[in-house]
Structures are given as structure tokens and as C-alpha cells.
Amino acid sequence: MILFPPAKINLGLNVLGKRPDGYHEIETCMYPVQWFDVLELLQRDEFEFVQTGIVVDCPPESNLCVRAFRMIQDRYSIPNVYMHLRKNIPMGAGLGGGSSDAAYVLIGLNELFSLDISKNDLRQMAGELGSDCPFFINSTPQIATGRGEFMENFELDLSDYFIKVVHPGIHIGTKEAYSGVRFIENRIALAGLLRQPIESWKYTLMNSFEYSIMTSNPKISDLKEQMYSEGAIYASMSGSGSSVYGIFKEEPTITITDTCWVAKL
């Protein structure tokens, strides 16, 4: 079985404050994009995890894919598998690649072993692995609230537009991202802003992480300005960074000097 876990972008990201449990209250719209990792799953007598492509620098048992497998194995007593993850989506980039990989392990094992786990139960298990993981069980536009685990489907079709994503080779850790975040006050509900013409998003859709991260990493700020200079209707840092994307009416050019990806939305 071969699966293709996609990346995501954030259309607006409001960090509203810190919760009593130590997490942060957020509001964001997650939108799937056609940049994929590759995940292969095969039943085997012995468990084996192989990772190629972009190097994931952590012990195998700490990898979210392996943790997702162990979760299903513990709860449903499935056999061992051979798992090969080809990593194409950069890490620490705000694109959700690791969360997507883990969610697709759950989806794939459910299908491979005919476990008949409901979408709701898959989302619940995905939430135990990470805040972004439940989004990828459906991989449709969704507004996320709470610490990111509460998802509500949102009707949004950007298929007439192109997207350009550039990763500047900078890794932004979660601790670094939240250390300088600016909480949003007196906000307008994100759903209402997204229903406005896309030309207005430049002035209304904000990312709470951008100010501090772009201040300490000017290259990311320069990338956003470059997107607008190239004709983007809307540009933003995705998630807590460091990737920057632009939405265009016409297909943009590919930048050779950075990890750059262009596709139809």
C-alpha cells in the first residue's frame, strides 16, 4: 500500500492566549495543498521502519509514524509492518508534514487490516499524536480551534488559483515560535474574513507568529515581500514558520535558490 500524505497551509492564524493546561488557544483555517510525502505500508513478520529523503533526526521509536503504528498495534493487535517514509515536505516549516504522515499511518493501517475504525475515532487517536494530526484524517478545508484539535469543515474553494511555497532552510521550533507570539485581541471571527473577497485578505488575515519570527529571521520577511512583488494576491507565513506561501491568479515562476514548489490549489 502506498499513500501520499499532503502538506497544509494556514489561512490566518490567531493565537488568542495561554490556557490553564499550558497550551495556547488558537483559531486558524487549514487548507490542504498538493505537496506530498510518500508512505509505504506492507504486512511483515518483523517491524521495520525505513526513512529516506529529507533526514528526520530522531530515534525511530520517537518518530510520529512509528508512534501511530504502536498506537494501532496496542489497541487492535495488528501484525507487524514494513513502513517506508519518503520525506519531501520540509520539517519545522509550518506545513504539517509530520502530522500528515502520522495521520496517514492511521488511515493506511485501518484500510490494510480492515479495522473499520470510524473517522471520528481516527480523529480522536490522531489528536493524541499531535494538535494538527486530526486535520489530515479528512484533508479538506477546516477551521481549527482550541489548541488546534477541534475541527469544523469550512466551505472554501481556491481551485482557480495557484500557490507558491518557499522554504528558506530555517527550522522554527515550537518553543521559539511561541516565545515571542503576540496574542490577538478584539478579533473578527476568521470564518467571516475568509468569506470576503480574496483581495481583502492582505489587510485582514494575520498570523500571530509573523512579527517575532520575521523580526529575528529577516529572510522570512523578505520572502513575504517578494511574493507580493511577484504579484501574489495574498502572502503569509504558514503556521509557526518558516515556509512562506503566496496565492496567485496566474502560475508564478519557481525560485531556484530556495526549496520552492508551485502548483494549482
CATH number at residue 147: 3.30.230.10
DSSP 188-248: PPHHHHHTS-GGGHHHH--BTTHHHHHHH-HHHHHHHHHHHHTT-SEEEE-TTSS-EEEEE
Rounded to an integer, the average pLDDT of 114-129 is 96
**Residues 4-40 pLDDT 10s:** 999 999 999 999 888 888 788 899 999 999 999 999 9
**Residues 208-226 pLDDT 10s:** 999 889 988 999 999 999 9
Residue 91: name the closest of 25, 148, 174, 22 by CA.
174
Q: What does the pLDDT read at residue 24?
A: 82
130 lies in the same domain as 231: no
Domain that holds residue 29: 2-153
As a whole number of angstroms, the distance between CA 97 and CA 90 comes to: 7
Please, what sign has the CA dihedral across residues 54, 209, 7, 129? positive
Residue 7: name the closest of 79, 140, 97, 93 by CA.
97
Helix residue ranges per DSSP H, the chain? 64-76, 97-112, 119-129, 135-138, 174-179, 190-194, 201-204, 210-216, 218-229
**Residues 171-191 pLDDT 10s:** 887 777 777 787 876 678 899
> Which of 94, 122, 153 finishes a domain?
153
147 lies in the same domain as 166: no
15 lies in the same domain as 136: yes
Catalytic residue among 37, 132, 164, 224: 132
pTM: 0.92
Indicate whether 258 pLDDT > 70: no
Instruction: Tell me whether residue 57 is one of the annotated catalytic residues.
Output: no
176 lies in the same domain as 121: no
48 lies in the same domain as 83: yes
The rounded Cα 176 to chain-centroid distance in angstroms is 18
Indicate whether 161 pLDDT > 70: yes
pLDDT, the chain, mean: 92
Phi, psi angle pair for 79, to nearest 5°: -70, 180
125 lies in the same domain as 78: yes
Residue 166 to residues 74, 105, 116, 134, 252: CA-CA distances in angstroms?
A: 39, 27, 38, 25, 12
DSSP state of 50: E
167 forms beta bridges with 259
Please, what sign has the CA dihedral across residues 221, 34, 130, 191? positive
Looking at per-residue pLDDT, the higher value among 24 and 261 belongs to: 261
93 lies in the same domain as 183: no
145 lies in the same domain as 183: no
Catalytic residue among 8, 87, 164, 224: 8
Domain count, the chain: 2
Q: What does the pLDDT read at residue 186?
A: 63
14 forms beta bridges with 27
59 forms beta bridges with none
The rounded Cα 65 to chain-centroid distance in angstroms is 15
42 lies in the same domain as 68: yes
